[in-house]
């Protein structure tokens, strides 16, 4: 990547020029949330300065304008993930709400005693707890795809889990702990041979490479705006039309109704059936701007840039004696989870932080995975296209310092 391109990109993100503890901030917590470019921040300001209004229910100028902008975002998202129809795009608060929506609606309609749902041991709590709880409620059984040594899914192990009782597979596209990029297209194809629908948790995927939900043939695909340079509180549930038609509404209230009588209610058409209440219009404006920004850079360029950083960081971190990386699958996204000898991740994280480097420590909302790996947590550095090799050098220096102080 050229230096001039990188400095131009970095100048789009005001927070990247912040200092912490008197040192320039190195932000390696992108898997938790990405920073926002000024184009996104400006889009939100513009919305409030020029267009703010509640949508869908008004005939006046502002309401029409805000509605158009909101619906325009829906079709931009449709195009971004290559969905067939705009009404297959449901706005939610984020990945967590998208998965809860499906677990609740699908569970109530299609899960009964003795049925089975398959997830993997690497799932984030967002794609774990909703299924666990729904299975408990419906007296169904949750099954777990095991992992290989390098943190890839055990595909033969997955095939063995499928039975005539399997009702759904819910799987992460990319692990937020191990970085593993799962072969979701192949898994979906296997599940479909048995007539089983598949939900993909795309929270860690959409910002890092191009996603085509039709090519994947995913039945449901979930993601969050804030992990793709957009604001918090906005996200997406993509669902194939026929599934969304079949599922009952998730929340009740305004907007999701067609007619309400004293005795009963009829529901709105897609996508509104799943969008009860006043939506996050400013979030949609920010998400639209973020997608425009990502497209200007190009998803291929982003992927190449992040893979280069991943290779560089892996090589340099492995040069530190006693450092162990968790997740060494051949296809990995740009994040590295590691431990330093016997040092507790929190202790190391505190020292790395004091060196101005933001990494995340702990179980990363994947406690079952930590139990499976028999570790208390990890230190995780996650990279975005605006990060540099010089910043990776600062991480390596900070990790060496932590080792020197704590061992």
In whole angstroms, how close is the CB of 224 to ligand PMP at the nearest point? 3
Residue 208 lies near ligand PMP (rule: CB under 6 A)? no
96 is a site residue for ligand PMP (CB under 6 A): yes
Q: Under the criterion CB under 6 A, does residue 203 sit at the interface with ligand PMP? A: yes
CB 368 within 8 A of CB 143: no
92 forms part of the interface with ligand PMP (CB under 6 A): no
Q: Which residues contact 40 (CB under 8 A, 6 or more apart)?
A: 229, 230, 231, 286, 289, 290, 293
Q: Do residues 287 and 81 lie in contact, with contact meaning Cβ atoms separated by under 8 Å?
A: no
Q: Which of 30, 67, 126, 268 binds ligand PMP (CB under 6 A)?
A: 126
If the CB atoms of residues 38 and 363 are measured against ligand PMP, the closer one turns out to be 363
Among 105, 176, 182, 361, binds ligand PMP (CB under 6 A): 176
Assigned token pair, 267: 């529901």
Which residues does the annotation mark as catalytic? 365
Residue 151 sits in the site that holds ligand PMP (CB under 6 A): no
Binders of ligand PMP: how many residues, by CB under 6 A?
A: 15
Q: Report if residue 94 touches ligand PMP, rule: CB under 6 A.
A: yes
Q: CB 32 → ligand PMP: shortest distance, Å?
A: 6
CB count in 10 Å sphere of residue 163: 13
Q: Which residues pair with 25 in a beta bridge?
A: none
Q: Which is nearer to ligand PMP, 351 or 359 (CB)?
A: 359
378 binds ligand PMP, rule: CB under 6 A: no
Neighbours of 245 (CB within 10 A): 12
Residue 35 vs 96, nearer CB to ligand PMP: 96
Q: Please state whether 252 falls in left (phi above 0), alpha (psi between -120 and 50) or beta.
A: beta
Rounded to the nearest 10 degrees, the angle between the axes of helix 95-110 and helix 129-138 is 20
124 touches ligand PMP by CB under 6 A: yes
Around Cβ 134, how many Cβ atoms within 10 Å?
A: 21
Residues that bind ligand PMP (CB under 6 A): 31, 94-96, 124, 126-127, 172, 176, 201, 203-204, 224, 226, 365
């Amino acid at each position: 990547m050229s230096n001039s391109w990188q400095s131009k990109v970095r100048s789009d993100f005001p927070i990247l020029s912040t200092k912490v503890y008197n040192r320039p901030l190195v932000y390696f917590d992108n898997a938790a949330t990405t920073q926002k470019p000024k184009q996104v921040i400006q889009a939100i300001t513009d919305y409030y300065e020029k267009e703010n209004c509640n949508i869908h229910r008004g005939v006046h100028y502002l309401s029409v304008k805000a509605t158009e902008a909101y619906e325009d975002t829906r079709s931009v998202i449709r195009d971004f993930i290559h969905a067939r129809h705009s009404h297959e795009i449901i706005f939610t608060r984020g990945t967590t709400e998208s998965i809860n929506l499906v677990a609740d609606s699908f569970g109530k309609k299609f899960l009964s005693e003795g049925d089975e749902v398959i997830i993997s041991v690497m799932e984030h709590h967002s794609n774990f707890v909703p299924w666990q709880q729904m299975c408990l409620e419906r007296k169904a059984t949750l099954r777990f795809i095991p992992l290989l040594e390098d943190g890839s899914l055990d595909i033969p192990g997955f095939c063995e889990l499928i039975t005539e009782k399997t009702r759904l597979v819910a799987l992460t596209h990319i692990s937020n702990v191990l970085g593993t990029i799962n072969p979701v297209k192949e898994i979906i194809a296997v599940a479909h041979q048995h007539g089983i629908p598949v939900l993909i948790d795309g929270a860690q995927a959409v910002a890092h490479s191009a996603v085509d939900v039709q090519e994947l043939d995913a039945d449901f695909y979930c993601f969050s705006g804030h992990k793709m340079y957009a604001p918090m509180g906005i996200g997406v549930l993509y669902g194939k039309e026929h599934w969304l038609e079949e599922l009952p509404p998730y929340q009740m209230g305004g907007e999701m109704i067609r007619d309400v009588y004293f005795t009963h209610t009829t529901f709105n058409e897609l996508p509104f059936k799943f969008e009860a209440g006043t939506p996050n219009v400013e979030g949609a404006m920010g998400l639209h701007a973020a997608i425009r920004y990502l497209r200007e850079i190009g998803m291929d360029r982003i992927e190449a840039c992040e893979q280069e950083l991943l290779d560089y960081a892996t090589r340099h971190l492995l040069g530190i004696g006693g450092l162990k990386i968790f997740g060494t699958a051949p296809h990995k996204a740009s994040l590295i989870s590691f431990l330093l000898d016997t040092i507790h991740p929190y202790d190391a994280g505190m020292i790395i932080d004091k060196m101005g480097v933001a990494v995340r420590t702990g179980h990363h909302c994947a406690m079952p995975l930590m139990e499976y790996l028999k570790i208390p947590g990890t230190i995780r550095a996650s990279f975005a296209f605006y990060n540099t090799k010089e910043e990776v050098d600062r991480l390596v220096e900070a990790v060496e310092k932590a080792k020197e102080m704590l061992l």
